Amino acid sequence: MGGWPNLADLLTSGDAPVALLGAPLAAGSVTNGRCDLAPAMLRRTLARIGLYDVETRRSLSTRVADRGDIALEGLTIEQATAPIREAAAASVEAHGLTLLIGGNNAVTRPGVLAVGGDLSTVGLITLDAHFDMRDLDAGLSNGNPVRALITDGLPGANVVQIGLAPFANSEAMHRDAIDAGNCVVTIGDVRRAGIEHAVARALDHVAHCDALVIDCDIDVIDRAQFPGAPGARAGGMAVDDFFWAVRKLASGPRVRVMDLVEWDPSLDAGDLSALTAARWFAECLAGYEMR
């Protein structure tokens, strides 16, 4: 890169205010894929994203402790939950913000549990095309972390779901989310009122929470702008709206964990998805530096 300052320059093995933690979990996916490849691909792509933001005229400078990947190969979601929770809890204890890189969406539940304390004090905001409210009868999957968390005791009054897509969810899931008290913001709501209004609604809904977890399921983005997500469909969130939401949410001091899930690098014929995921990393840091 000829000395071009880039995100990879910010990674360190020492102490830092922000942490990168890989959770390459592939088991239990509703759709088959290789989301376990995402943490390694993200690290390789960081060198392609610069530090300077022409919009704000500021360069990113926050160091990021790379805590490596959690050993999850061959584990079921049930078996992987405790190791992810323990590794994420250690990271939350040591850093102001933990960037948890999945893997599939099942990593969100241990990410929330890692914050610690009573679940009544923890809020969850999802950027996701799906409710993740599938039944638990057949066990845990990447399609039911929100339902599992509600079963754990997370109140619906602490849950916001932004970007829900038409023809990608069931009526029963929608009804159950509303009945639980979740704040539901569809992708149509985002288009009509704007992403700023959607995020404001979200933050108002979880204003009573002491700590927040942001679940960034990358399939919320329109598939044309992120082809490397098996659950993404046409008509999803515009990528610039996604970036704005990520930066805004990361700027909140109550946010302790932000995850990136459901990215399958094997589906990316080019490098669009990898570059978008690495830009997510930059937006998280830009938001953190606004605190």
What secondary structure does DSSP assign to 151-179, as a single string? Answer: HHT--GGGEEEEEEPTTSS-HHHHHHHHH
Residue 220 is assigned to a structural domain of this protein = yes
3-state helix, strand, coil in the chain (%, to 5): 40, 20, 40
Residue 121 is assigned to a structural domain of this protein = yes
Using CA atoms, how far apart are residues 216 and 206, in angstroms rounded to an integer?
A: 17
Residue 1 is assigned to a structural domain of this protein = no
Closest by CA position to 242, among listed 127, 126, 164, 99: 127
Residue 2 is assigned to a structural domain of this protein = no
pLDDT score, position 62: 98
The domain tally of the chain equals 1
Residue 51 is assigned to a structural domain of this protein = yes
pLDDT score, position 27: 86
pLDDT score, position 180: 97
Residue 278 is assigned to a structural domain of this protein = yes
Residue 38 is assigned to a structural domain of this protein = yes
The domain of 195 spans 7-288
pLDDT score, position 1: 42
Beta-carbon contacts of 35 under 8 Å, excluding residues fewer than 6 positions away, are 24, 25, 26, 29, 102, 103, 104, 261, 262, 263, 264
pLDDT score, position 251: 98
Please report, as a single letter, which amino acid is at residue 115: V
Please report, as a single letter, which amino acid is at residue 34: R
pLDDT score, position 30: 82
Residue 176 is assigned to a structural domain of this protein = yes
Contact of 133 with 173, CB cutoff 8 Å: yes
CATH code of residue 259: 3.40.800.10
Provide block-wise average pLDDT over 10 residues at a time, the chain (291 residues). 83 97 90 92 98 97 98 96 98 98 97 96 98 94 96 98 97 97 98 98 98 98 96 96 98 98 94 97 98 97
pLDDT score, position 33: 86
Give the helix/strand (H/E) hosting 280.
Answer: helix 272-288
